[in-house]
Structure 1
Amino acid sequence: MPEALPRLLADKNTEAASRVMQTMMGMQKIEIGQLDAVLEEKKHELCRRFCRRGTNR
């Protein structure tokens, strides 16, 4: 098992970690770089969503 995998799957952001798991399950070969990118993308997506909510109050 790649040593980065537990870090990606145990991220504090459970939605992002879940997206990493979904992506990994569709892979023939585990590509850590791609999983890392998915995690960061999901984190940024969630941040943008919550940041917009904060400004609309």
Structure 2
Amino acid sequence: MDKSAQVVNLTNNLNLQHDLDEEWVILLLKAKRAGIPAEEVRRFLIKEAKTLTEIS
């Protein structure tokens, strides 16, 4: 299944009512396939956001 089909399939399966950023969905799918838990991705993003805020 190609990347666009994965995004459409994921969106349909979750029955989302809002737009998803296709790049983010693809990155999260790759992380999941690599065995990286969603919580680890979440912690990383929060940490990086805090770091960027401190730099600004």
The answer, yes or no, to whether TM exceeds 0.5 is no
Q: Comparing both chains, which one has the higher relative contact order based on Cα–Cα distances under 8 Å and sequence gaps of 6 or more?
A: 1
**TM range, normalised to the smaller chain?**
0.3 to 0.5
Max Rg structure: 2
> What is the TM-score of this pair, normalised by structure 1?
0.39
